[in-house]
């Protein structure tokens, strides 16, 4: 090689990884970082869709749960009532008491972040 000639070297180089800009030493490392970034993007999109579905499900049941709660039912009692009415959870299973509490919390958070709920249900949830 003659003195003063430019030699192109691909590595090390800067790439954008999941944690920001990084220096990679090999093509294999670059491929791994690009794959992780694409995978994480897909996960974020899927998680966002799942969150919307869960919020909508919680908002559908919130009014009925609040009405039962105001009548003095425990979370276990509410779960029993919903199960006896044939209403199943989002995954098609029976309700348990902890699921009822989580549904109420999710409905409150969904309303606080812009979910659609009737005025009567909003008032009941805030009490």
Supply angle C-alpha 60, 65, 69, rounded to 5. 160
DSSP string, 57-118: HHHHHHHHHHHHHHTT--HHHHHHHHHHTT---TTSS---HHHHHHHHHHHHHHHHTT----
Structural domain contains residue 4: no
Residue 46 has pLDDT above 60, yes or no: yes
Residue 72 has pLDDT above 90, yes or no: yes
Structural domain contains residue 20: yes
Structural domain contains residue 6: no
Structural domain contains residue 1: no
Structural domain contains residue 52: yes
Structural domain contains residue 90: yes
pLDDT tens readout for residues 13-30: 777 766 777 777 878 888
Structural domain contains residue 38: yes
- Distance of alpha carbon 6 from alpha carbon 82, whole angstroms: 74
Q: List CB contacts of 53: < 8 A, sequence separation 6 or more.
A: 90
Q: Which helix (H) or strand (E) holds 2?
A: none
Structural domain contains residue 59: yes
Give the chain's domain count.
Answer: 1
pTM over 0.95: no
- Distance of alpha carbon 82 from alpha carbon 95, whole angstroms: 7
Q: Residue 99: give the domain boundaries.
A: 13-126
Residue 54 has pLDDT above 70, yes or no: yes
pLDDT tens readout for residues 105-127: 999 888 877 766 555 555 555 55
Average pLDDT, the chain: 83
């Amino acid at each position: 090689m003659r003195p003063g000639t430019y030699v192109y070297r691909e590595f090390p180089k800067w790439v954008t990884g999941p944690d920001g800009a990084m220096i990679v030493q090999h093509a294999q490392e670059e491929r791994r970082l690009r794959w992780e970034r694409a995978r994480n993007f897909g996960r974020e999109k899927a998680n966002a869709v799942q969150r919307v579905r869960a919020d909508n499900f919680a908002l559908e049941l919130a009014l009925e749960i609040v009405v039962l709660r105001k009548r003095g039912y425990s979370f276990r009692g509410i779960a029993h009532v919903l199960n006896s009415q044939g209403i199943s959870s989002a995954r098609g299973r029976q309700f348990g008491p902890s699921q009822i509490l989580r549904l109420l919390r999710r409905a409150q958070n969904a309303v606080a972040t812009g979910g659609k709920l009737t005025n009567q249900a909003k008032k009941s949830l805030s009490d």
